[in-house]
């Protein structure tokens, strides 16, 4: 072994990292032997890596839980004889012990681990001794002694509490909510007493709160208590050793800021949450310390009610109690209960069925939640459509919030507040709030601000634009863009590129191309913008059906991105789509498998990106026209995705739609029905009824129903529904298409009169029929002609029944027939 300390460290670190995660710690300890400093160093370093996991890593937790060599029973420490270990705290092992000279008195002896015997830890340890001596409360395990023995081993002697952790006690005795709160209030009284002595605990957690057999609650371990006054001259603010327990640490502790009474309020909130809900507020199992900390810093916990539902537990939790816990758990200290007394008073009021201080939530708080949602969207902006959707929808549904703690944009807050209040997602119980609606509201709220030319707004607007594009809300994006253009004379390359993308998505490819050219030469763009540029170019070429070129464009985009990049999956999906359309399905699938392998190095197995890649696979198969394969593999892929995302997610909706379309192409209409129905339902839930995707899905469903000649009533009501939903300018083309399709169906069913009315009415708009696209116009003409003759608007002895004949022969004295004749004539003479 090398003698240089760093070489030793490197060697051990490298070897440990090559091992599976769960073996590393033990390996390091074994290899380091007596060199405990080396072991601690390596373990700490291991904890900093991107691959670390909270449950096995995280330097502080490791230290807290490291199974230090237990002292042999019978060992003496000062005047105490140690018996079996009964637990371990942040600083070391705790043993049952008794005094040598008074064998009747059992005590708990906490042995401070030598690693912590750095000078300032010893100092703290001495502080603890003085602090604890001042605490005298039935709910606090009282302090007896503290000393070091002849070997220099430091220890604290405390009252031995023979009890069970509070959470376990609650479970074992099947306590109801009231009984749990009674128990918890005992704890509050104890903490309140300590606060009265100007002592805060800083490490209140489930393991530190025991309930004795006689029902008395005892709080243990004022291990890192801090004096509020500096009367003792012990000002260790900003404790660097991070001895707190990460799972119940308050945001300020994670940030390394100083603690105060509200830090204890937070920790008590964490405990009360788990006590009442029966489940911890965050899952810690599958995230890295960094992720967990981010949650603590930014993600407000779900309501206990929601959390229980998630876990498949039932049992109602009163709303007020949820509010009380939420108040204790606020990220900002000043929004928490300012004192234990206030916390306790609310619980007392709750028990007495009186209104609590937090019932009902203020508009501002709700507004913040919205900003928070927006921030979530920001983080994921321009991910594939589904990430955004699920993010927005989940946040709306579950009332989850990403806090905007460090959000400097008060402007953004106000904008979003307006948007939020306008959209009223709080009225969830009342009606359907779709992501689209919220976005729509934010767009209109943002518009006036665009004129202020505020750059902060620009950032926000860019995010909004990217979210809209990724959700496929092209028309909304277009409106955002227009609003931005009104206010800003200076245009950033990013906005320019996004504008080009909007044109491309709208199908105006020439405009997109020229817009792109105006964004400046590629070499002048920043790295991100260059990627966006290639992406837009790819979208243009793919829509021009230059698949070969498009594949090259997206390949370049893919290569420029890392799997952790939000656009990465999208780029892969587009690339494979282009390849599949180019008759290169095997390459497309190879490329997707390669992407999957690459993703495995970056994401946990259950990361949604894997599902998105699966969906891309299905899309490629579908695009290649290999129907047999689509129908063979499609249902399996759907079955794989549905449990992960819920059957009513846009992602599953897309997969179902593809499978449904596959059956339709194979003329298996009845088989297509359930898939198309589920697709429509998923889009309806996630995107809202008026969304283009939702409408298309409904149209496919109706086509299948009609083709299978099933449920005429449903077909009719669905057509009417779609036509109503698409009565907006943005959806004009769809609306026309739907009316023509409805008329065709009616005519086929023999309702010629109704069909003729509908078709004639389409010309009543200002634009006449000029707005129709070629396909719709041709259909319109054909079926107008058909309905005209079928309605016997005129007679044709020669039985040509053509538009030309309709024009020549006199029409019946009937307004609709006349109008129809006019339309038929104009078109025959026009062409």
Partner 1 sequence: MQEAASITALLVRWRDGDRQAESELARAIYPILRQAAQSHLRKHDRGLTLSATDLAQEAYIKLAEQNNVAWQNREHYFAIAATVVRRVVIDYLRERYADKRAGGKILVEVSEAAEQEIIGSADHALDWVALDAALDRLGKIDPDCAKVVDMTLFTPMNADQIAAACGSSVATVGRHWRFARHWLARELDEAHIKHAE
Rounded Cα–Cα distance for residues 195 and 377 (Å): 40
Considering only the stretches 487-495, 624-632, 643-651, 734-742, report the one whose residues sit in contact with partner 1 under the rule CB under 8 A. Answer: 487-495
Rounded Cα–Cα distance for residues 265 and 340 (Å): 7
Considering only the stretches 6-14, 147-155, 348-356, 784-792, report the one whose residues sit in contact with partner 1 under the rule CB under 8 A. Answer: 6-14
Question: Counting contacts by CB under 8 A, is residue 45 touching partner 1?
Answer: yes
Single out the residue of 75, 164, 492, 629 in contact with partner 1 (rule: CB under 8 A).
492
Q: Is 246 helix (H, G, I), strand (E, B) or coil?
A: helix
- Minimum gap (Å) between residue 361 Cβ and partner 1: 28
* Phi, psi of 103, deg, nearest 5: -70, -5
Query: Judged by CB, which is closer to partner 1: 31, or 148?
Result: 31
Single out the residue of 44, 424, 596, 648 in contact with partner 1 (rule: CB under 8 A).
44
Footprint on residues 541-580 left by partner 1 (CB under 8 A): 562, 564
- Minimum gap (Å) between residue 162 Cβ and partner 1: 39
Query: Judged by CB, which is closer to partner 1: 45, or 117?
Result: 45
313: left (phi over 0), alpha (psi -120 to 50) or beta: beta
Tokens read off for 27: 């390996």
Footprint on residues 275-294 left by partner 1 (CB under 8 A): 290
Question: Counting contacts by CB under 8 A, is residue 451 touching partner 1?
Answer: no
> Count of CB atoms within 10 A of residue 798's CB?
8
Question: Counting contacts by CB under 8 A, is residue 256 touching partner 1?
Answer: yes
Residue with tokens 């696979």: 617
Question: Counting contacts by CB under 8 A, is residue 240 touching partner 1?
Answer: yes
Per-residue DSSP letters for 719-736? HHHHHHHT-SSTTHHHHH
Query: Judged by CB, which is closer to partner 1: 268, or 496?
Result: 496
Of the candidates 471, 495, 472, 492, which has an alpha carbon nearest to the alpha carbon of residue 482? 495
Contact 757, 814 (CB under 8 A): no
Provide the Cα torsion 486, 489, 492, 494; round to 10°: 20
Question: Counting contacts by CB under 8 A, is residue 2 touching partner 1?
Answer: no
* Phi, psi of 95, deg, nearest 5: -120, 150
Question: Counting contacts by CB under 8 A, is residue 17 touching partner 1?
Answer: yes
Task: Report CA Rg, the chain.
Answer: 34
Considering only the stretches 12-20, 414-422, 748-756, 760-768, report the one whose residues sit in contact with partner 1 under the rule CB under 8 A. Answer: 12-20
Considering only the stretches 32-40, 43-51, 223-231, 697-705, report the one whose residues sit in contact with partner 1 under the rule CB under 8 A. Answer: 43-51
Q: Count residues contacting partner 1 (CB under 8 A)? A: 26
Single out the residue of 14, 230, 332, 486 in contact with partner 1 (rule: CB under 8 A).
14
* Phi, psi of 341, deg, nearest 5: -60, -45
Question: Counting contacts by CB under 8 A, is residue 746 touching partner 1?
Answer: no
Single out the residue of 494, 503, 654, 681 in contact with partner 1 (rule: CB under 8 A).
494
- Minimum gap (Å) between residue 256 Cβ and partner 1: 4
Q: In sequence order, which residues have a C-beta less than 8 Å from that of residue 34 and are 6 or more positions away?
A: none
Q: What angle do CA 493, 566, 592 make, to 5 degrees?
A: 120
- Minimum gap (Å) between residue 329 Cβ and partner 1: 21
Question: Counting contacts by CB under 8 A, is residue 48 touching partner 1?
Answer: yes
Question: Counting contacts by CB under 8 A, is residue 6 touching partner 1?
Answer: yes
Contact 655, 618 (CB under 8 A): yes
Question: Counting contacts by CB under 8 A, is residue 527 touching partner 1?
Answer: yes
Considering only the stretches 9-17, 62-70, 154-162, 339-347, report the one whose residues sit in contact with partner 1 under the rule CB under 8 A. Answer: 9-17
Question: Counting contacts by CB under 8 A, is residue 49 touching partner 1?
Answer: yes
Query: Judged by CB, which is closer to partner 1: 43, or 154?
Result: 43
Query: Judged by CB, which is closer to partner 1: 118, or 364?
Result: 118
Rounded Cα–Cα distance for residues 356 and 202 (Å): 26
CA distances from 126 to 82, 116, 147, 727 (A): 21, 13, 9, 76
Q: Is 762 helix (H, G, I), strand (E, B) or coil?
A: helix
Of the candidates 614, 656, 612, 659, which has an alpha carbon nearest to the alpha carbon of residue 632? 659
Residue with tokens 């607007």: 461
Question: Counting contacts by CB under 8 A, is residue 510 touching partner 1?
Answer: no
750: left (phi over 0), alpha (psi -120 to 50) or beta: left
Single out the residue of 257, 407, 475, 633 in contact with partner 1 (rule: CB under 8 A).
257
Query: Judged by CB, which is closer to partner 1: 242, or 336?
Result: 242
Q: Are strands 209-212 and 217-219 parallel, antiparallel or unpaired?
A: antiparallel
Query: How crowded is the C-beta side of 565, counted as CA atoms within 13 Å?
Result: 17
Question: Counting contacts by CB under 8 A, is residue 602 touching partner 1?
Answer: no
Question: Counting contacts by CB under 8 A, is residue 13 touching partner 1?
Answer: yes
Single out the residue of 20, 30, 33, 50 in contact with partner 1 (rule: CB under 8 A).
50
Question: Counting contacts by CB under 8 A, is residue 493 touching partner 1?
Answer: yes
Interacting residue ranges for partner 1, rule: CB under 8 A: 6, 10, 13-14, 17, 44-46, 48-50, 238, 240, 255-258, 290, 492-494, 526-527, 529, 562, 564
């Amino acid at each position: 072994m090398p003698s240089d300390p760093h070489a030793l460290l490197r060697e051990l670190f490298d070897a440990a990292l090559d091992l599976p995660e769960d073996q590393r710690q033990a390996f390091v300890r074994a290899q380091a032997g007596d060199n405990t400093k080396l072991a601690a160093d390596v373990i700490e370093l291991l904890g900093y890596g991107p691959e670390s996991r909270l449950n096995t890593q995280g330097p502080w937790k490791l230290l807290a839980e490291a199974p230090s060599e237990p002292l042999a029973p019978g060992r003496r420490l000062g005047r105490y004889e140690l018996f079996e270990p009964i637990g371990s705290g942040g600083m070391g092992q705790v043993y049952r012990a008794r005094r040598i000279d008074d064998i009747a008195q059992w005590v708990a002896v906490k042995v401070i681990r030598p690693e912590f015997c750095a000078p300032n830890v010893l100092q703290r340890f001495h502080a603890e001794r003085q602090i604890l001596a001042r605490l005298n409360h039935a709910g606090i395990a009282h302090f007896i002694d503290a000393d070091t023995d002849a070997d220099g081993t430091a220890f604290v002697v405390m009252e031995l509490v023979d009890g069970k952790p509070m959470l376990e006690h609650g479970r074992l005795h099947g306590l109801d909510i009231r009984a749990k709160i009674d128990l918890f209030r005992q704890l509050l009284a104890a903490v309140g007493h300590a606060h009265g002595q100007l002592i805060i605990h800083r490490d209140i957690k489930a393991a530190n709160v025991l309930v004795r057999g006689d029902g008395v609650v005892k709080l243990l371990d004022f291990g890192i208590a801090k004096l509020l006054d500096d009367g003792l001259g012990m000002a260790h603010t900003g404790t660097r050793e991070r001895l707190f327990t990460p799972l119940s640490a308050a945001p300020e502790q994670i940030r390394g800021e100083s603690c105060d009474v509200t830090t204890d309020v937070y920790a008590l909130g964490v405990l009360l949450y788990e006590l009442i809900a029966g489940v911890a507020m965050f899952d810690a199992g599958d995230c890295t310390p960094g992720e967990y900390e981010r949650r603590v810093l930014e993600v407000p916990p779900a309501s206990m009610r929601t959390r229980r539902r998630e876990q498949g537990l039932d049992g109602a939790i009163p709303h007020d109690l949820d509010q009380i816990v939420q108040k204790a758990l606020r990220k900002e200290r000043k929004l928490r209960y300012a004192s234990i007394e206030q916390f306790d008073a609310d619980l007392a009021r709750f028990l007495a069925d009186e209104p609590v201080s937090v019932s009902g939530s203020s508009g501002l708080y709700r507004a913040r939640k919205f900003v928070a949602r927006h921030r979530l969207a920001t983080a994921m902006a321009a991910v594939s459509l589904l990430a955004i959707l699920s993010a927005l929808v989940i946040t709306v549904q579950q009332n989850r919030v990403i806090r905007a703690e460090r959000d400097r944009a008060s402007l953004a807050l106000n904008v979003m507040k307006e948007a939020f209040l306008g959209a009223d997602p709080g009225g969830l119980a009342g009606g359907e709030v779709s992501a689209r609606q919220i976005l729509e509201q934010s767009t209109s709220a943002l518009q006036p601000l665009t004129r202020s030319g505020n750059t902060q707004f620009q950032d926000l607007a860019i995010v909004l634009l990217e979210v809209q594009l990724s959700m496929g809300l092209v028309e909304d994006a277009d409106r955002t863009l227009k609003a931005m253009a009104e206010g800003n004379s200076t245009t950033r390359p990013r906005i320019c590129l996004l504008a080009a993308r909007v044109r491309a998505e709208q199908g105006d490819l020439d405009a997109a191309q020229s817009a792109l050219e105006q964004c400046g030469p590629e070499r002048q763009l920043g790295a991100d913008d260059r990627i966006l540029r290639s992406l837009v170019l790819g979208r243009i070429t793919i829509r021009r059906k230059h698949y070969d070129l498009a594949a090259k464009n997206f390949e370049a985009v893919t290569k420029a991105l890392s799997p952790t990049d939000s656009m990465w999956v999208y780029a892969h999906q587009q690339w494979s789509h282009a390849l599949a359309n180019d008759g290169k399905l095997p390459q497309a699938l190879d490329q997707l498998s390669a992407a999957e392998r690459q993703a495995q190095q970056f994401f946990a197995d259950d990361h949604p990106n894997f599902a998105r890649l699966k969906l891309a696979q299905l899309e490629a198969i579908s695009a290649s026209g290999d129907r047999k394969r689509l129908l063979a593999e499609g249902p399996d892929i759907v079955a794989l995705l549905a449990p992960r995302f819920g059957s009513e997610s846009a992602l599953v909706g897309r997969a179902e739609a593809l499978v449904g379309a596959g059956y339709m192409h194979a003329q298996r209409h009845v088989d297509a029905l359930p898939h198309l129905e589920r697709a429509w339902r998923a889009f309806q839930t996630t995107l809202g009824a008026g969304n283009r995707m939702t409408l298309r899905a409904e149209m496919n469903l109706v086509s299948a129903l009609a083709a299978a000649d099933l449920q005429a009533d449903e077909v009719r009501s669905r057509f009417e529904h779609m036509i109503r939903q698409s009565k907006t300018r943005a959806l004009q083309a769809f609306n026309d298409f739907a009316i023509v399709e409805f008329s065709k169906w009616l005519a086929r069913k023999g309702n010629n009169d109704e069909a003729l009315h509908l078709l004639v009415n389409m010309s009543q708009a200002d634009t006449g029929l000029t707005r129709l696209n070629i396909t719709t116009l041709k259909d319109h003409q054909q079926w107008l002609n058909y309905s005209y003759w079928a309605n016997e608007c005129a007679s044709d002895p020669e039985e040509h029944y053509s538009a030309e004949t309709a024009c020549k022969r006199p029409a019946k004295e009937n307004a609709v027939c006349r109008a129809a004749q006019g339309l038929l004539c104009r078109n025959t003479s026009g062409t």
